[in-house]
Chains A and B, each alone.
Chain A
Amino acid sequence: MNILLVEDDTEAARHVVAGLREAGHGVEHCGDGPHGLRRATTGGHDLLIVDRLLSGFDGLRIVSALRQHGGHRPVLVLSALGTAEDRVAGLRAGCDDYLVKPFAFAELLARAEALLRRALMPAAPHSVLRASDLEIDLPSRCVTRGGRAIQLSATEFQLLEFLMRHAGQVVTRRMLLERVWNLHFDPQVNLVDAHLERLRQAIDRGFDHSLLHTVRGAGYVLRA
């Protein structure tokens, strides 16, 4: 996939570009705002990753310009501010996701790929989600695996639904905290792993192949 990175911190950008390329994406890097703005509106990239605090330039201008021209391409905003206002301003300007520096590269990659996939395959209004022999029926909130009913708590159900909607993709702990618990800060202790462990017990125990996998240093993936 073709990604445009607008970031004036060349040192950080170098690592991001290298990492994204390693993950198999084409990356174009712009080191300043005006150039980034030009490329964003003309480049035909699949995804934009924009630093909000470019020297003398608000990265959100790129997002606004893109949206004004009717561009629907997903945008991921990076910011060193990290206040609630900053995040809301980003989302209001039309960004699809917001990441506070410093972040782990794995976090950026997981979010970028989630956005790319969402752009390619918009979430169909399925009422039943399937992964291998695991099936969840959204209206009735019934979960079955291999025809066997599985009892889940409300949170476990939400976790599973999110993982199934992103089946095959890495989902980070932070993404889960944001989407399932609506928390946009880092708790001091690891809370997500214990919940995922319970979910794993519920859906994988007693079956010969596991669906829920831990990705070291990144997060989780539900893979058929």
Chain B
Amino acid sequence: MPSPPPRAAAIRLTLLHVGVVMLVVAALLGAVFLVTQRELAREVDRAIAAELGELRERYDPAGLASLIDAVQRRSATRGRSGALYLLIDAGGNRVAGNLPAWPDAAPGAARWINFDFELGEPADAVRHPARAAVHTFDSHHLLVGTDVAQRNAVAQHLRDALAWSTLLAALLSGMVGWWYSRRVGARVRAAARACDEILAGDSAARLPARAAGDEFDQLACAVNRALEHAERQTLAARATYSGAARELRVPLHRLRMRLESLAQRTAGEEMREALGAALGDLERAQRTLATLLQIAHAAADTPLSQAERIDLAELARSMVELYAPAAREAGLALAVHAAGSCAVTGNRQLLAQLLASLLENALKFVPAGGAVEVSVAAQGDGGAQLSVADNGPGIAPAQRAAVLEPFGRLERDAARPGSGLGLSLVTAVMRLHHGRVELAERTPGLVVRCEFPPAASTAVPRGSGSG
């Protein structure tokens, strides 16, 4: 059996799924984070601006007193929690406020400033970030700000929460994706297994499908309907085959028995000769019928029976040896180039018959003095090539397809004996072996090349024994 398909597809699909989910979730939550952060910052700025506005209204061009008073009051209670105030004079001296000193930036340089300040006793002071607005009243500078440590902490928490959510989403989507692709993968593998079984000859095997099904089941049902149809046709073809075999062979057999017993009882020489000729004709018809039935059987798309590992080189040597005396008698030089061994998966009888057809064709069509070469060679891809080459009259390219069909004979050979089935048998046998036949030119002559696919791509042999 071929190894189960790798999980590569499931892994790829899962990774893709996780990637897409992470991207979407990260984009969404990132946007939420940015918007929230900006909104928080604006809220702080709005509060500061409002506070500053109020204090500016308290400023009396006549004197600072009410402003100082307001700043001092607010500083004491700290007003809003975390509110910061500082009023300095032109010399930079603190007039009022709860900040010990003006931050680094020069007063009046910018309207909005960000700075750090120390909170708590000097011994264990903690630096806090702050944001403030600055306003200049004639010679005095007023800073109104807010400790933003808490706001930053909120943003930090939000960022962490969003990051964890993204990770969780990725994890969940990974699990779901993996589970789903495994499920899909399992169904695809089940379908592939069923296909392998069918190829291996179990024509009753079907793709698994549930009645209340999804698209997979619909697909499986459609494939099963097609298989059903093909099986019915195959069965019909086989029934036709066995019917034809029986209905033709049985009467031929009866005829033969009759002729034989007549020939045995007849005394007259003339009669005996006629009966002998009739028996000869009968024998030819019988052989043609056998070949024709063999082709029909192969065409009925029956799985290759009794398939086993066969040494094609050994078979070629043995067939060439069998035909050697006949070739010598016909004045042909018959050679075989099939050293060592070359394994193919196939039916020994059919392959022997294929070789016999090719050799008999060569015997028939190559004139005396010609040469016939049978070669077997393993191919780089694990397949094999069997070829029979001669230096006879060859076949014109336009007619090559025709001679591969049953009874496809060339006009010039019409007078010769033979059924014209040889090459179509070769075609049928090669089709059963998932291989192909090619007729090629030789100068002069013909090469018939039979190419066998690598063993792994042919159906798994059922049973064994050459019989």
A interface with B by C-beta (< 8 Å): 9, 11-12, 15-16, 18-19, 53, 80-85, 87-88, 91, 100-105, 155, 181-191, 194-195, 197-198
Contact = CB atoms under 8 A, between A and B. Distances in A.
A80 B255 CA distance: 14
Nearest to A197: B325
Contacts of A104: 256, 260
B287 A101 contact: no
A82 B253 contact: no
A182 B252 contact: no
B261 interface: yes
A11 B257 contact: yes
B322 interface: yes
Given A15-B257, A84-B305, A101 B352 contact: no
Interface in B232-247: 242, 245-246
19 contacts: A9-B250, A9-B253, A80-B245, A81-B242, A81-B245, A82-B245, A82-B290, A82-B293, A85-B305, A91-B467, A102-B252, A102-B282, A103-B256, A105-B260, A182-B352, A185-B294, A185-B352, A188-B356, A189-B360
Interface of B is mostly: helix
Interface of B: 242, 245-246, 249-250, 252-258, 260-261, 282, 286-287, 290, 293-294, 297, 305-306, 318, 321-323, 325-326, 328-329, 347-350, 352-353, 356, 360, 363, 418, 465-467
Nearest to B467: A88
A105 B305 contact: no
Nearest to B417: A188
Contact of B249 (A15, A101, A184): A101
Contact of A9 (B254, B348, B418): B254
Given A81-B246, A188-B360, A194 B261 contact: no
Nearest to B284: A188
Nearest to B246: A80
A183 B261 contact: no
A92 to B, nearest CB: 9
B256 A102 contact: yes
B412 to A, nearest CB: 19
Nearest to A15: B257
Nearest to B242: A81
Contact of B290 (A18, A85, A155, A185): A185
Nearest to B286: A102
Contact of A188 (B242, B256, B287, B347): B287
A187 B253 contact: no
B467 A184 contact: yes
A155 B321 contact: yes
Contacts of A12: 250, 253-254, 257
A29 to B, nearest CB: 14
Contacts of B287: 186, 188
A18 B297 CA distance: 35
B362 to A, nearest CB: 11
B325 A84 contact: no
B325 A85 contact: no
**Candidate in A91, A101, A105, A194 with the most chain B CB atoms within 10 angstroms:** A101
A182 B328 CA distance: 23
Nearest to B261: A15
**Candidate in A16, A185, A197 with the most chain B CB atoms within 10 angstroms:** A185
B465 A187 contact: no
Contacts of B323: 191
Contacts of B253: 9, 12, 80, 101-103
Nearest to B288: A188
B356 to A, nearest CB: 5
A119 to B, nearest CB: 22
8 A-B pairs with least C-beta separation: A194-B325, A102-B253, A15-B257, A80-B249, A101-B253, A102-B256, A88-B467, A102-B252
A92 B146 CA distance: 99
